[in-house]
Chain A
């Protein structure tokens, strides 16, 4: 089944404790992206990757890192999480062929930073 998977789905952590949220897609998509969703703000893009070893900042990259060593994986790293990073996070991927294709979203990771 074609899908985007994220792990963990739920995470409660404490301020300053490094964490990684994994994202994997099995559709051979080149483009992958991370969003965070907060009440009243919709979804905002954190980072995106056009292909392996090519990443760039989105609208709200502060406090996050990403890496793209393989096409299928695009982990989101919080080196020193803070309470304002409590949010619902989504990974998405998109096929490369035309500019009109929709994005496929993962199920989300609900992160709480105490």
Chain B
């Protein structure tokens, strides 16, 4: 079953605008990760947030995590055309599920020049 559900499924913005993607999940997690996938290519890790963290930054990326609501958001500020890609959240339950990532369906982001 899919742990993560992402919203929106597709997002189209202009260069310079901010892009926000949301992810909800169903069970307890050890950490939550965000990945980017350029069309038909492998996934690239963007950022990881632990279950005891509420916010994390990396360059133009900001991730929040609300474990009470079982949700996370990824904010990309000052977007660029090169940010056009699919973005996936992935949850890691830890424990006996060590190493297994459960992915959402992804958000397709299109940034227009």
Which residues of A pack against B, CB within 8 Å?
4, 31, 33, 35, 40-45, 48, 50, 58-59, 88, 90, 92, 94, 99-108, 110
Which residue of B4, B45, B98, B102 is within 8 Å of A99 (Cβ)?
B98
Closest Cβ–Cβ distance, residue A6 to chain B (whole Å): 9
Q: Number of B residues contacting the other chain (C-beta, 8 Å)?
A: 28
CB–CB B40/A110 < 8 A: yes
- A44-B42 contact, Cβ under 8 Å, with A99-B30, A102-B48: no
A51, B90: Cα distance in complex, Å: 22
A38, B7: Cα distance in complex, Å: 18
Closest Cβ–Cβ distance, residue B91 to chain A (whole Å): 11
A35, B94: Cα distance in complex, Å: 18
Closest Cβ–Cβ distance, residue A110 to chain B (whole Å): 7
Closest Cβ–Cβ distance, residue B63 to chain A (whole Å): 13
A105, B45: Cα distance in complex, Å: 9
